[in-house]
Amino acid sequence: MARIQIQLPEQFSFRTDVPIYLTHINMAQHLDNSALIGLLSEARVRFFQSLGYQELDVEGVGIVITDAALQYKSEAFHGETLVFAIAPDDFNKYGFDLMWQATDKATGREVARGKTGLIFFDYAARKPAPIPPPFLAKLGRAG
């Protein structure tokens, strides 16, 4: 069976530190796979906050996660701090991919990498919405 291979961008526009707590650890004494998704969600929220947005209000529309892919590179443990590096990529009319990499802050060891697809969503109309031009402008992209 072919394995997922994630190609990371040359550079990341956002970084945030997220500590690994005891509640993130599984019976094997390393970071649980479901906990990694939760830590990634925290990093994504911080990415949007760094731009002045909440996930339910990006210029009047929200976001919806459409898909996700991740590739584990090493174990992570209680007491470590993960640095999530994030870069938006592969834009289309309604959304883009958030590319990410998680590394151990102390050693630089890569723990995981992946991409999360998202679209903008008009929750009142219950349908996808085009990417708001002011959001693109904050990213330095033309609409």
Residue with tokens 């402008």: 137
pLDDT at 134: 97
pLDDT > 70? residue 143: no
pLDDT > 70? residue 130: yes
> What is the average pLDDT score of the chain?
96
H/E stretch holding 62 = strand 62-72
pTM: 0.94
Check if the beta carbon of residue 69 is closer than 8 Å to that of residue 76: no
Write out pLDDT tens, residues 37-80: 999 999 999 999 999 999 999 999 999 999 999 999 999 999 99
Which of the four pLDDT bands, split at 50, 70 and 90, describes residue 141? Answer: confident
Q: Walk me through the domains of the chain, giving residue ranges and CATH numbers.
A: 14-138 (3.10.129.10)
| Nearest-angstrom CA–CA distance, 90 and 97 | 6
How far is the first Cα of the chain from the last one, in angstroms, to the nearest whole number? 39
When pLDDT is averaged across residues 123-131 and rounded to a whole number, the result is 97
pLDDT > 90? residue 1: no
pLDDT > 90? residue 142: no
| Nearest-angstrom CA–CA distance, 86 and 51 | 13
